[in-house]
Amino acid sequence: MRTFFVLLGATALLCSCAHEDAAQPVKERSWEQGLDASLSAQIAPVGPIETDQTAYDFIRRREREHALGSKATAAELDEVINASSQVLASALSLPLFKAGVYLGQPRLIERGCNAGRRVTHSALRASGNVDAVMQACNALTAGKQSSNDGCGEGQQKLRDAYALLAAEKSQDAGRAAADGVRMLRDRCQKIAAPLRTPVDPSTKGFIIVWALHANDAPPVTFLAGEQSPNTAEAINDGFLRGVQAVRPMAHNP
């Protein structure tokens, strides 16, 4: 008899729990956050989201103030990128990278790379040319396996120059870049001078142009054949392309 009451009580408890679970409203699942809740914070929402507008306004204002390449702006861009949707991140990646090249500011290039890493949506990676940015980010740091000939040595020397520039050692960077270009000119016939770019050859930006060009980065990342960048306008254009890219997904149930 005692066993019967124990079983009866357990059954009642299970029924009660089931009733409570059924009574609770079912929360709508955001599949954009993935299946693992512990990793969801690392996956950006596809978007767009409301804060994207504030982020764009900030960048446009800083560009008008000629302060886009400042340390203060870079610090605030970290927050902007971490809070952005993938639509905005895809629109930020290439324009910030180009601005960094034009202004000779590795800190902006780094933010462009970080924005690109935030984009996992395949259509947005395509609309923002994110893969080109990622290729250029890799070219500045790792590059291809360096050979022991003049080409490999020159390529490595230019990557070293970029690293020195990122460490704010401009004079050392200039010397390393000059050595790298000299090696390529004298000992590597397959690498000619970069295509025409709006970056002034006398500036730090041209060191970056050479580093990208010599290490096979896509020409679009160092403004080959382009005019001086209008970063805010480029971000807005990229955002519009991104919205169009995710629109078919938004209509799916």
pLDDT in tens, 196-219: 999 999 999 999 999 999 999 999
When comparing pLDDT for 137 and 12, which is higher? 137
Q: State the pLDDT at residue 10.
A: 46
Closest by CA to 35, choosing from 27, 25, 43, is 43
Q: In 21-42, which positions are buried (b, 16+ CB within 10 angstroms) versus exposed (e)? A: eeeeeeeeeeebeeeeeeeeee
What are 243's two structure tokens? 């919205």
d(CA 192, CA 186) in angstroms, rounded, equals 11
Residue 193, SS3?
Answer: coil
Give the Cα-Cα-Cα angle 168, 170, 176 (nearest 5 degrees): 120
What are 213's two structure tokens? 């060009």
Computed over every residue of the chain, the mean pLDDT equals 84
> pLDDT band at 31, cuts 50/70/90?
very low
Q: State the pLDDT at residue 48.
A: 85
Q: State the pLDDT at residue 2.
A: 47
> pLDDT band at 190, cuts 50/70/90?
confident
Q: State the pLDDT at residue 223.
A: 95
Q: State the pLDDT at residue 146.
A: 54
Q: How large is the average pLDDT for residues 32-37? A: 50
Q: State the pLDDT at residue 47.
A: 74
* Cα-based distances in Å from 72 to 62, 68, 99, 129, 204: 10, 9, 16, 27, 20
Residue 155, SS3?
Answer: helix
When comparing pLDDT for 252 and 149, which is higher? 149
Taking the model in full, what pTM does it have?
0.80
Burial-class residue 178 by CB neighbours within 10 Å (0-12, 13-18, 19+).
Answer: middle
**How many CB atoms are closer than 10 A to CB 55?**
22
When comparing pLDDT for 246 and 217, which is higher? 217
When comparing pLDDT for 70 and 7, which is higher? 70
Q: How large is the average pLDDT for residues 64-93? A: 93
